[in-house]
């Protein structure tokens, strides 16, 4: 359908399914309705039992999951949580400089760090809200 699957979640009992989609231009209500209708039909054919399906955009604090995400959002501020500390920190915040050979470049206040993708537990964009 031309949408990127950013992430999905299922409630502990599997009764609620949440799907997060994205496209370069951004996701609107019609996009969510279109994907919801398609998934509802697919789940009926595949006999997937659920009570509620939620389809939405990943939000301003979009999770970064793949190497391509770190390249796409190069120049944006992000917060990373690591499996193991780097320079005595498990949480890092800085400007993304892309991803090369399986490692993310992050410009922090202490300088440029190169972090292997395998060491990143979670990564999210830091929302930039400009007030007048």
User: Residue 100's pLDDT is what?
Assistant: 92
**Containing structural domain, residue 41:** 4-56
Q: What is the pLDDT of residues 62-93, one digit of tens each?
A: 999 999 999 999 999 999 999 999 888 899 99
- Is residue 62 domain-resident? no
Residue-wise pLDDT tens digits, 26-53: 899 999 999 999 999 999 999 988 999 9
d(CA 36, CA 57): 12
In a domain, 75, yes or no: yes
Residues 125 and 77: beta-carbon distance below 8 Å: yes
- Do both 94 and 52 map to the same domain? no
115 domain-assigned: yes
pTM, 2 dp? 0.81
Asked if residue 106 belongs to a domain, the reply is yes
| Domain presence at residue 131 | no
- 58's tokens: 């990943």
Number of structural domains the chain divides into: 2
| Same domain assignment for residues 34 and 75 | no
Question: What pLDDT sits at residue 66?
Answer: 92
Q: Kindly give, in sequence order, each residue whose CB lies less than 8 Å from that of residue 44, ignoring residues fewer than 6 positions away.
A: none
């Amino acid at each position: 359908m031309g949408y990127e699957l950013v992430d999905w979640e299922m409630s502990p009992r599997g009764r609620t399914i949440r799907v997060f989609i994205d496209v370069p231009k951004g996701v609107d209500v019609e996009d969510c309705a279109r994907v919801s209708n398609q998934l509802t039909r697919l789940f009926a054919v595949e006999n997937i039992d659920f009570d509620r399906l939620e389809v939405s955009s990943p939000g301003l604090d979009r999770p970064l999951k793949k190497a391509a995400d770190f390249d796409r959002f190069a120049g944006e501020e992000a917060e990373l949580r690591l499996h193991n500390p780097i320079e005595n920190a498990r949480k890092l915040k800085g400007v993304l400089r892309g991803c090369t050979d399986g490692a993310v470049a992050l410009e922090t206040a202490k300088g440029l760090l190169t972090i292997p993708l395998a060491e990143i537990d979670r990564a999210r964009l830091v929302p930039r809200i400009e007030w007048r």
